[in-house]
A and B are shown apart, each in its own frame.
Chain A
Amino acid sequence: MRKSKGGGQIDNLRQRYINTADILLLPGYNIEAVAQGLTFPSSVTFDEKGNLYVVETGYAYGEVWLEPKLIRLDKAGQSVIAKGKKNGPWTSVRFHDGNFFVSEGGAMEGGKILRISPEGRITALVEGLPSIGDHHTNNLVIKDNYIYFGQGTATNAAVVGPDNKEFGWLTRRKDFHDIPCGDVVLTGENFESEDVLTEIVGDKALTGAFSSFGTKTSPGQVIKGAVPCTGAILRIPVDGGKVEAYAWGLRNPFGIAISPAGKIYATENAYDDRGTRPVWGAGDVLWEIKENMWYGWPDFSEGKPIKFDEEFKVPTETKVKPLLQKHPNDPPEPAAILGVHSSSCGFDFSRSPAFGFEGEAFIAQFGDMAPKVGKVLAPVGFKVVRVDVNTGVIRDFAVNKGKRNGPASQLETGGLERPISVVTDTDGSALYVVDFGILKMTDKGPEPQVNTGVIWKITRK
């Protein structure tokens, strides 16, 4: 059995440096670093005058808790507009109608959507979103006076297990689990694991789907749907108000953007090979999001059923058992299927002939978190890809130079590390790439490195 060779599996970590010559683009494009030394940046936006702002998450996997921040970047340097509390990660920012709108991931006390005035006054438009699990309240967009945002699931595949203790949250919230947006009928499959909530060695726990750790389920059992739910695209009116489920059955819908044709698209970070119901070979997906559609989680991947399927079976495990007796609908076809464990995150569409590739989606690939998410034979992601949403064809757009793919820290170059979002500027002539910085993966878990985040700007010559 070959060892995992993920991009975060770095032996000797050197201080990050920047060298744009280490990044390859198609001829005719140019890249520059416009800010560096940031700590866990996740998203950028522009005000009505074209000024650039960035949010720092304030939280990173590995249970690193800092202050989330909204920062203005200009020639004079950085000025902090607003700071959050110990409830990151702030995953997204958009400027709209004179205010900033921020997704607060809510790993400690639940997710929020915040409105922040230019003076830094913070108002929560909604709070208490179910974000204290593996995945959080994700990127947002504003369309037709609604804020649409992704809400990640609590778990990998709807069953709470020892892997969730490793994330840190199961010890804090023993009762937490996934919540479907609509009623679901269970097959009653239960999954055995070590009882990680007791001190007694050898204790076992049986856990069913959409239930807290150690809670069994039975065939035909109905789990009542509730909103806000996990694994969904949710929306609220732009001035605040009731949360609505817009689409569901999405594992971790991290990125969200509106196409030039006015359609909503989202990236879904797909299953990992971890936990008591591991899934193998699940590609991340770019979806067109349609109202009331169920996208297949936790019984489908990429629109295909995973139950008893060879393609999604972990080599050392039995085939994946289904959790739902009935499915709300047949999931649609993906717009594109991206690399397994690529962590295809924030994205935007090209809207301008000045930049080129009009109508194509540019997706930031954060890169694998192997071996915790499963094994890979080579680093996956760590680049920006472009996608023709009509054909599903994916092409590399910005990659690191070298004989093999990987983050700059592993290649020991001055290139891209972990791109987490892509945003076009106001007139669409430039593409800003938010690079989260170094996140090393060890046997103990992730080790994110402060002050290693970078904002890159790509323009056409």
Chain B
Amino acid sequence: MKKIMLIALISFGFLSLMLHACSSRKAEPHKGEEFQAKDEHVANGEKMFMEHCQKCHPGGEAGLGPAINSNPAPQFVKRFQMRHGLGTMPSFTEKEISEDNLKNISDYLKALKSY
């Protein structure tokens, strides 16, 4: 009985953690604090996100496109999608978003997810 309860407790904790991690709403009022870019890569990534991504995924939430914040795909998959497009999402060439800027967008999305 104790074993079942322990499994249930761990499962509940894991599920809560997943649900919390998967919430797409990362805006400042939801987090209860201002987002601060911890370094220049994140700061540049945020600017690049605003230039290329924000309009379809406002604050990483769903809009014209789906939510990014709650998308569990690894960052390299997301970068591949930005480069090659998928469905209605357009592709972005290196001329439009350089490799460094693309990585900075990943840095920003990771920072936004965990702040």
A residues adjacent to B (C-beta < 8 A): 24-27, 280-281, 283-284, 302, 310-311, 315, 336-342, 374-378, 380, 391-399, 403-405
In the bound complex, residues from chain A placing their C-beta under 8 Å from that of B30 are 24, 396, 399
In the bound complex, residues from chain B placing their C-beta under 8 Å from that of A394 are 50, 54, 58-59
In the bound complex, residues from chain B placing their C-beta under 8 Å from that of A25 are 29
Contact check, B64 vs A341: say whether CB atoms are below 8 A apart: yes
Taken residue by residue from 7 to 34, chain B's Cβ proximity to chain A (1 for < 8 Å, 0 otherwise) reads as 0000000000000000111011110111
User: Assuming the A-B contacts A26-B34, A392-B47, A399-B29, are A378 and B55 also in contact, with contact meaning beta carbons closer than 8 angstroms in the complex?
Assistant: no
Q: Report the bound CA distance from A340 to B62 in whole Å.
A: 11
Taken residue by residue from 45 to 70, chain B's Cβ proximity to chain A (1 for < 8 Å, 0 otherwise) reads as 01100110011101101111111000
**Is B85 interfacial (CB-CB < 8 Å)?**
yes
Q: Report the bound CA distance from A233 to B68 in whole Å.
A: 36
Main secondary structure on A side of the interface with B? loop
Contact check, B55 vs A393: say whether CB atoms are below 8 A apart: no
Contact check, B28 vs A26: say whether CB atoms are below 8 A apart: yes
Contact check, A337 vs B54: say whether CB atoms are below 8 A apart: yes
Contact check, B63 vs A378: say whether CB atoms are below 8 A apart: yes
In the bound complex, residues from chain B placing their C-beta under 8 Å from that of A283 are 54-56
Contact check, B62 vs A311: say whether CB atoms are below 8 A apart: no
Contact check, B56 vs A281: say whether CB atoms are below 8 A apart: yes
Q: Looking at B27, B33, B64, which has the most chain A CB atoms within 10 Å of its CB?
A: B64
Q: Looking at A283, A338, A375, which has the most chain B CB atoms within 10 Å of its CB?
A: A283
Whole-angstrom distance between the Cβ of B113 and the nearest chain A Cβ: 16
Contact check, B63 vs A395: say whether CB atoms are below 8 A apart: no
CB closest residue in chain A, given B92: A311
In the bound complex, residues from chain B placing their C-beta under 8 Å from that of A27 are 32-33
Contact check, B61 vs A378: say whether CB atoms are below 8 A apart: yes
Contact check, B46 vs A393: say whether CB atoms are below 8 A apart: yes
Q: Report the bound CA distance from A398 to B28 in whole Å.
A: 9
Whole-angstrom distance between the Cβ of B40 and the nearest chain A Cβ: 13
In the bound complex, residues from chain A placing their C-beta under 8 Å from that of B72 are none
- 10 example contacts (A-B, Cβ-Cβ < 8 A) are as follows A281-B56, A311-B90, A337-B50, A339-B64, A374-B64, A378-B61, A378-B63, A399-B29, A404-B25, A405-B61
**Is B91 interfacial (CB-CB < 8 Å)?**
yes
**Is B114 interfacial (CB-CB < 8 Å)?**
no
Contact check, B55 vs A340: say whether CB atoms are below 8 A apart: yes
User: Assuming the A-B contacts A311-B90, A342-B58, A380-B63, are A392 and B29 also in contact, with contact meaning beta carbons closer than 8 angstroms in the complex?
Assistant: no
In the bound complex, residues from chain B placing their C-beta under 8 Å from that of A399 are 27, 29-30
Contact check, A281 vs B64: say whether CB atoms are below 8 A apart: yes
**Is B115 interfacial (CB-CB < 8 Å)?**
no
Q: Report the bound CA distance from A397 to B28 in whole Å.
A: 7
CB closest residue in chain A, given B32: A27
Contact check, B33 vs A396: say whether CB atoms are below 8 A apart: no
Q: Report the bound CA distance from A315 to B90 in whole Å.
A: 10
In the bound complex, residues from chain B placing their C-beta under 8 Å from that of A405 are 25, 58, 61
Whole-angstrom distance between the Cβ of A307 and the nearest chain B Cβ: 15
Contact check, A310 vs B63: say whether CB atoms are below 8 A apart: no
Contact check, B51 vs A395: say whether CB atoms are below 8 A apart: no
Contact check, B63 vs A397: say whether CB atoms are below 8 A apart: no
Whole-angstrom distance between the Cβ of A110 and the nearest chain B Cβ: 33
Q: Report the bound CA distance from A281 to B62 in whole Å.
A: 13
Q: Looking at B51, B55, B85, which has the most chain A CB atoms within 10 Å of its CB?
A: B55
**Is B35 interfacial (CB-CB < 8 Å)?**
yes
Contact check, B25 vs A377: say whether CB atoms are below 8 A apart: no
Contact check, A281 vs B55: say whether CB atoms are below 8 A apart: yes
Contact check, B23 vs A403: say whether CB atoms are below 8 A apart: yes
Q: Report the bound CA distance from A403 to B27 in whole Å.
A: 12
In the bound complex, residues from chain A placing their C-beta under 8 Å from that of B32 are 26-27
In the bound complex, residues from chain A placing their C-beta under 8 Å from that of B62 are 377-378, 404
A-B interface, 9 closest residue pairs, ranked by CB to CB distance from nearest: A283-B55, A378-B62, A24-B29, A396-B27, A311-B90, A340-B64, A339-B58, A380-B63, A310-B90
Out of B29, B33, B66, which one reaches A398, CB within 8 Å? Answer: B29
Whole-angstrom distance between the Cβ of A85 and the nearest chain B Cβ: 38
Q: Report the bound CA distance from A113 to B74 in whole Å.
A: 54
CB closest residue in chain B, given A301: B55
In the bound complex, residues from chain A placing their C-beta under 8 Å from that of B58 are 338-339, 342, 380, 394, 405
CB closest residue in chain A, given B62: A378
In the bound complex, residues from chain B placing their C-beta under 8 Å from that of A338 are 54-55, 58
CB closest residue in chain B, given A377: B62
CB closest residue in chain B, given A2: B66
Whole-angstrom distance between the Cβ of B110 and the nearest chain A Cβ: 17
